[in-house]
């Protein structure tokens, strides 16, 4: 049976075009037999840049569809350079994307894909609308703080990698609820979209293994200790599919010194060669 | 004008099949538009393994031709596990390969190709029969010792990466001379084939930049210092085409902790996925 097409959702402003190119390059090299369709939700990326990005993806045999989203809809949301407005768009994917799409995998642009994504794509969602990983095991304290802060019972999920059952999400996600939540809780949001996601939809989310699907690249030692020494570099290179460069120390910054910096910079170069 | 096919020469025993698969995987990913023909000189690789290796290369769109070489011809050469007999075969490439091949690039199996090889392939050889790099700048003392030991005037070349002008080499390389040299100097050879190469053909060799074409991966700090701080990780990832894992600390050994270990192990995984 032929594999179904993988639909990917991304959302960023023009500052993230290059990191995104690194993501898609790493994704294609590590998933060479997949048919990829990328949906980009954005507000301000100029047409010229979009055209170039379409050609770029096309040179990697991936299709790109850009959807312009009216910035005004989140005009009351707390934003900053590190947390631009585009981060909210993923929450509305179910309402924005064509009804014909039943499932989509959201990916942050500060990641590197180093193994096949198909096992994540095919995780049975059952009653859940989402699947995501929690960084609880490597950032224990914050997860507890976040739970108390938001008054939620389940683990605090990282919203950087999310498999979305769009059929379920179309039933359950109410844009009004999201907008109201943004307006009302402006002052206590630390990681705005992620807090909203956890507060509103955490209980609808199936947990997946962060060491495989959303490895927080800042916390090598914590993963190693947590796994009793198993999750060393060999293990990560064999098993981890997505390295997530959370936090401020982004590996594409020249000032960055990072355990996975050599690998990331090699993919930057592979990505640059396609331009 | 279409590019000419790249002929590559390799020579190893069956212990090096997996490292070679990592080499060819990295080479193809970083040279996606090249037509590659690999010539393997060997003695003892079983037919089953050769067939698998042919299929492996074919799945990467590379052609492999294996040439069986009579082990007896080098029966008097000093060999060991680390320096198997196959290391001598490259010296006879001009005499073994079909006359129709005019140029070939020899590659050791303990390397990683991380950028395009075409600029090396197209280096004008002029009067020279070979092009190779010297690790003089990063292993100064050894180069001096080697020069004195072998009584040569030019820099001591590393024979792990060699571009060979086969037309010139067919004129200049005399198998008898190589065999006599092996017999006579058995006791003073430290790196057997490399010493012979330098002693007999060093003066016929054009020097190329080792930081680009034969980066000794043990010596990051030396390259950095030698370049006045320029050759940092960003520079290497952009400019270095071949990382050479010289010495005993091979990055595929699980005991290895290596600056480029994450990158190497990622390519091991990419290579394993093709099997």
C-alpha dihedral, A93 to A96 to A101 to A102, nearest 10°:
50
Pairing of strands B215-216, B242-244: parallel
Q: How many CB atoms lie within 10 A of CB B186?
A: 12
pTM: 0.92
Question: Which residues lie closer than 8 Å to A51 by C-beta, 6 or more apart?
Answer: none
- Average pLDDT of each block of 10 consecutive residues along chain A (275 residues)? 90 95 98 97 95 98 94 71 75 92 97 98 96 81 69 87 96 86 69 83 95 96 93 96 94 82 97 94
Beta strands in chain B (DSSP E): 6-11, 36-42, 62-68, 103-107, 111-113, 130-134, 157-165, 205-208, 215-216, 242-244
Best-predicted range by mean pLDDT (A149-153, B22-26, B196-200)? B22-26
Residue B44: DSSP 8-state:
S
Confidence at residue B111, expressed as pLDDT on a 0 to 100 scale: 98
Banded model confidence at residue B150, pLDDT cuts 50, 70, 90: confident
Query: Is B29 in Cβ contact with A237 (below 8 Å)?
Result: no
Q: Is the pLDDT of residue B154 over 70?
A: yes
Q: CB-based contact (8 Å) between A261 and chain B?
A: yes
CA dihedral A162, A168, A169, A170 (to 10 degrees): 150
Backbone angles phi, psi at A40, to 5 degrees: -110, 115
Residue B257, judged by CB atoms within 10 A of its CB (0-12, 13-18, 19+), counts as exposed
Q: How far is the CA of B53 from the CAs of A238, B13, B15, in angstroms?
A: 22, 13, 13
**Average pLDDT, stretch B104-131?**
97
Residue B32 pLDDT greater than 90, yes or no? yes
Phi, psi of B213 (to 5 degrees): -105, -10
Report angle CA A198, A199, A204 to the nearest 5 degrees: 60
Beta strands in A25-61 (DSSP E): 36-42
Q: What are phi and psi of A111, to 5 degrees?
A: -130, 175
Residues in chain A closer than 8 A to B238 (CB atoms): 269
- Whether A113 and A217 have beta carbons less than 8 Å apart is answered as no
Residue A133 near residue A213 (C-beta atoms within 8 A): yes
Q: Is B29's CB within 8 Å of A30's CB? A: no
C-beta atoms of A269 and B238 within 8 A: yes
**What is the reported pLDDT for A45?**
95
Burial class (CB in 10 A: 0-12, 13-18, 19+), B130: buried
pLDDT at B25 over 90: yes
Computed from CA positions of residues B88, B92, B96, B101, in that sequence, does the dihedral angle turn out positive or negative? Answer: positive
Query: By CA distance, what is A271's nearest residue in B?
Result: B30
Pick the residue from chain A with its C-alpha nearest to B237: A266
Q: Cα–Cα distance between B225 and B105 in angstroms, integer?
A: 30
Is residue B273 scored above 70 in pLDDT? yes
pLDDT score, position A181 = 81
pLDDT for the residue A49: 97
Per the CB < 8 A criterion, the answer to whether A242 and A215 are in contact is yes
Contacts of A29 in chain B (CB under 8 A): 29, 270
Tell me the C-alpha distance between A157 and B40, whole Å: 51
Question: pLDDT value at position A202?
Answer: 93
- The model's confidence at residue B170, banded by pLDDT at 50, 70 and 90, is very high
Among candidates B116, B233, B266 on the partner chain, residue whose Cβ is nearest the Cβ of A114: B266
* A238 in contact with chain B, both atoms CB, cutoff 8 A: yes
Chain B partners of A245 at a C-beta cutoff of 8 Å? none
pLDDT in the model for residue B149: 72
Reply yes or no on whether the pLDDT at B142 is more than 80.
no
B80 pLDDT more than 90: no
Where is pLDDT greater, at B22 or A226?
Answer: B22
Neighbours of A267 (CB within 10 A): 25
* Cβ distance of B234 and A30 shorter than 8 Å: no
Does residue B126 carry a pLDDT above 70? yes
* Residues A1 and A116 sit within 8 Å (Cβ to Cβ): no
For A205: left if phi > 0, alpha if psi spans -120 to 50, otherwise beta; the answer is: beta
Rounded Cα–Cα distance for residues B188 and B267 (Å): 37
Query: What residues contact residue B202 under an 8 Å CB cut-off, 6+ apart?
Result: B152, B154, B155, B156, B157
Can you give the pLDDT at residue A12? 92
Q: Which residues contact A67 (CB under 8 A, 6 or more apart)?
A: A39, A40, A41, A42, A96, A97
Do the beta carbons of residue B217 and residue B258 sit within 8 Å? yes
**Per-residue pLDDT tens over the stretch B49-64:** 999 999 999 999 999 9
Partners of residue A206 on adjacent β-strands: A131
Phi, psi values for residue B220, rounded to 5°: -50, -50
Which residues of chain A make contact with B268, given a CB cutoff of 8 A? 237
> Cα A270 to chain center, whole Å?
21
User: Cα separation of B118 and A21, whole Å?
Assistant: 24
B242 — pLDDT class (breaks 50, 70, 90): very high
Residue A164, beta-bridge partner list? A104, A130
Higher pLDDT, B145 or A107: A107
Between chain A and chain B, how many beta carbons pairs sit less than 8 Å apart?
A: 45
Q: What is the average pLDDT across B11-23? A: 95
């Amino acid at each position: 049976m032929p594999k179904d097409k993988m639909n990917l959702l991304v959302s960023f402003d023009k500052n993230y075009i290059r990191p995104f190119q690194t993501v898609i390059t790493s994704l294609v090299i590590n998933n060479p037999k997949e048919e990829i369709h990328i949906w980009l939700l954005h507000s301000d990326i100029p047409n010229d840049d979009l055209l170039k990005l379409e050609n770029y993806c096309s040179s990697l045999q991936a299709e790109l569809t850009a959807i312009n989203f009216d910035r005004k809809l989140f005009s009351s949301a707390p934003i900053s350079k590190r947390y631009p407005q585009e981060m909210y768009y993923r929450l509305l994917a179910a309402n924005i994307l064509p009804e014909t799409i039943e499932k989509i995998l959201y990916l942050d642009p500060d990641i590197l894909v180093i193994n096949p994504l198909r096992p994540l794509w095919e995780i049975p969602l059952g009653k859940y609308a989402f699947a995501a990983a929690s960084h609880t095991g490597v950032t224990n304290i914050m997860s507890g703080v976040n739970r108390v802060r938001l008054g939620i019972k389940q683990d605090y999920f990282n919203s950087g990698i999310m498999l979305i059952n769009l059929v379920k999400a179309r039933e359950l996600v109410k844009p009004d609820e999201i907008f109201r939540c943004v307006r009302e809780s402006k002052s206590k949001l630390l990681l705005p979209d992620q807090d909203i996601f956890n507060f509103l939809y955490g209980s609808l989310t199936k947990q997946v293994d962060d060491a495989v699907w959303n490895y927080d690249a800042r916390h090598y030692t914590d993963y190693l200790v947590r796994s009793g020494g198993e999750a060393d570099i060999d293990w990560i290179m064999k098993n981890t599919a997505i390295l997530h460069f959370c936090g401020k120390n982004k590996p594409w910054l020249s000032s960055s010194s990072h355990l996975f910096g050599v690998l990331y910079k090699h993919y930057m170069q592979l990505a640059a060669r396609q331009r």
